[in-house]
A and B are shown apart, each in its own frame.
Chain A
Amino acid sequence: MTFWDSLIYDLFPLMWSGMITGCLYALGALGLVMIFKCSKVVNFSHGNVAGLTAFLVYGLSSGVLMSLSWGAAVLVAMLAAVAIAFLIYSIISPLVFESDLTSTIATLGFGLIAQGVTLLMFGADIVALDLPIPRFAFSVLGLLVTGYDLTVLAVAIVTIGALFIVIDYTKLGIAFRAISENPFAAEVCGLNLKSVHYFAWITAAILGVIGALLIVPTTFLSVTTVATFMLQAFAAAVIGGFASLPGALVGGVLIGVLMNLFTFYVSPEYSSTFLLGVILLALNIFPNGILQNVGGSRV
């Protein structure tokens, strides 16, 4: 096989599928960044809570808990995610204004509880959770594009587009940006910090559910799947600087592509170690995020 052949048969498909999963990492990372930007808390429970809601969708639609239609199950799970995010923030909100270190540690507690509840409700078994999407595939320039790819891309573009529109043009979004920029001044101007924090936490939870539901068909669903998926989201957030929403998006896609290339060309067994290396390298090369030197920060 010549160089060009391998480029077309391996590299492009790898980059394409990496970009697709990268969009999902970006969804996870956007949630983390939203929470961090306004409340300065790193939400370590993000992955476990998203995993729990993905399991809820499975439980509600497969007959383990109930046999609803897929759409109804997702709706219930979304509501559950919103309720959980509301509950988590309500409990830690007195801590948030006192110490971001303590509240970050507290989110680990919620992560543990979410993990335990998932185990108690659904056990440690591996289950399959597919999306109700048409199965088709066509090939463009030697690139195999599946219905799943297009669904992910469409959902990601719509969700992220909607998020950016909300943050850029609505009053809530302006309040969010103001609080991220300078919480004290924003409060003096009459903004309620807590309600904006609630907005960020709940939006992040919804993004997490969407990301989890879309990532599960590529592997399977177990207690640890979504939590490990979130490591990629963390890495994406770090690459983007942890305080930049566009940075998280770029970081997510970058991580997706890099991970795919690494697992294919080097070894699939060292993926976490590779991510660790990427994080350490990214912190050294662009400590303030990948977009810092390119175009300044936007959101």
Chain B
Amino acid sequence: MSEAPVSDQATHMSPDRSAMARLSGSITPGVTAGILVAVLMFMPYLLGGSWTFTLGLCFANSIGVLAVSLLVRYGGEVSIGHTFFTALGAYSVGVLDTRYGISLWASVPLALCLGVTLGLLFAWPSRNLHGIYLAVTTLALALAVPEMINNFDALTGGYEGLYVATPFIPGASMGLQRYYVALAMLVIVCFAVARLRLSRQGMALLLAKTHPAAADAFGTRRVWARISIMGISGGIGALCGATLAFSGSTVSPGGFTFWQAIFLLVGSVVSFYGLSLPRVLIGGAFVTLVPQLLSSSGAWIPVFYGLALLGMILLGHYMPRIRKAMARKSETA
């Protein structure tokens, strides 16, 4: 049972093109993303301060959703412990900021390095095993995160958390900075992921997932592919955390609970494991807005998330069949 690949139909739910691009064939995904970014650039001038803040958080969470989706798509593996990486990124920013007054210039690269390194480390033990071992490892990881944060309270500030106040660009309005840094980060990460898809390395990773034997023949070892995709995903997860810390202005254990980790996965499923900018924005918005909208009735949040998760999965399962049946019907008619 070693080397048994996780079956990968899940990752081929639908082609990774935005719905808008499919509607009008001439518009490429790149153009859609460009228009979307242009619209989002002007949002702070149309919306109030609190909505600008919330949108910033949406962008940050979108990066986390992207990290989870990337792991599913390129690795065929599921992580329910990405809060470990977001916590890593967030506390890199928080600690450097509050202890040493160092801004994102230094803490983002640090977060990225930590995320990649620890991602590689955690993927290592299960490198030869069925994908579920990584899932179980990440489950333990997610449960261990709050414990670590609270016990290293000398560094992390315990329950109270840390407040991130050092500006990225000195002098500019802090509210706008929190928004635009998140947007820029999201665009950069999405662009990098889109480039990865076209790069040789990205192709090799996909090949190693879908046809391990062929990849072996071409010199890409499946083990390395699996470890490196977890590294990349961990790095992006840490960037999500760093952005969350800066845009959300506070870093506290409440943001990195076990449930938050599952919510990131739910966001990824809701966006159909999409890697394009519009898709991850949907996932990020879902993760950010649903708890806010349902905040008065807390117990409904898990129910709603669970139903959304199941609904999307069943939709992904039945939609192609229904579409096929419809097509057959229209052919005969």
Residues of A within 8 A of B (CB): 36, 42, 44, 91, 94-95, 98-102, 104-106, 108-117, 119-120, 228, 231, 234-235, 237-238, 242-243, 269-273, 275-276, 279-281, 283-284, 287-288
Contact = CB atoms under 8 A, between A and B. Distances in A.
B299 A112 contact: no
B6 A101 contact: yes
- Top 3 nearest A-B pairs (CB, nearest first) are A112-B306, A116-B303, A116-B302
Contact of B137 (A36, A117, A269, A279): A279
A48 to B, nearest CB: 9
A102 B265 CA distance: 12
Contacts of B305: 109, 112
A42 B307 contact: no
A105 B78 contact: yes
Contacts of B316: 102
Contacts of B150: 269
B174 interface: no
Contacts of A287: 2, 128-129
B180 interface: no
A120 to B, nearest CB: 5
A273 B148 contact: yes
A272 B313 contact: no
Contacts of B299: 116, 119-120
B317 A272 contact: no
30 contacts: A42-B132, A44-B139, A91-B314, A95-B317, A99-B10, A100-B7, A100-B132, A101-B7, A101-B11, A105-B78, A106-B309, A106-B310, A109-B313, A110-B310, A112-B303, A114-B306, A115-B306, A116-B299, A116-B300, A116-B301, A228-B143, A231-B139, A242-B132, A243-B1, A270-B151, A275-B143, A275-B144, A281-B125, A283-B125, A287-B2
Interface residues of B, number: 55
A279 B142 CA distance: 13
Interface SS majority for chain A: helix
Given A116-B302, A231-B140, A283-B137, A104 B313 contact: no
B137 A101 contact: no
Interface string B117-141: 0000010111011111101110111
B302 A115 contact: yes
Interface string B265-301: 1100100000000000000000000000000001111
Given A102-B10, A108-B80, A228-B143, A238 B136 contact: yes
B72 interface: yes
Given A116-B302, A273-B147, A279-B137, A109 B8 contact: no
Contacts of B330: none
Contacts of A242: 130, 132-133, 136
B253 interface: no
A91 B300 CA distance: 21
Nearest to B125: A283
A240 to B, nearest CB: 12
Of listed A42, A102, A115, A287, residue having the most chain B CB within 10 A: A102
B265 A105 contact: yes
B161 interface: no
Given A105-B265, A242-B132, A288-B2, A117 B303 contact: yes
A280 B122 contact: yes
Contacts of A234: 136, 139-140
A99 B76 CA distance: 10
Contacts of B55: none
Contacts of A238: 133, 136
Contacts of B124: 284
Of listed A106, A109, A237, residue having the most chain B CB within 10 A: A109
Given A112-B309, A120-B300, A283 B151 contact: no
Contacts of B76: 101
B244 interface: no
Given A109-B310, A115-B302, A116-B299, 16 more contacts: A98-B317, A101-B78, A102-B313, A102-B317, A106-B310, A109-B306, A109-B309, A112-B262, A112-B306, A112-B309, A117-B303, A119-B299, A231-B139, A237-B136, A276-B140, A281-B125
Contact of A279 (B140, B262, B300, B301): B140
Contacts of A272: 140, 143-144, 147
A82 B128 CA distance: 35
B24 interface: no
Contacts of B133: 238, 242, 283
Contact of A269 (B7, B72, B151, B265): B151
Contacts of A99: 6-10
B7 A116 contact: no
Contacts of B309: 105-106, 108-109, 112
A99 B124 CA distance: 24
Contacts of A237: 136
Contacts of A281: 125
Contacts of B301: 116
Interface in B66-87: 72, 76-78, 80
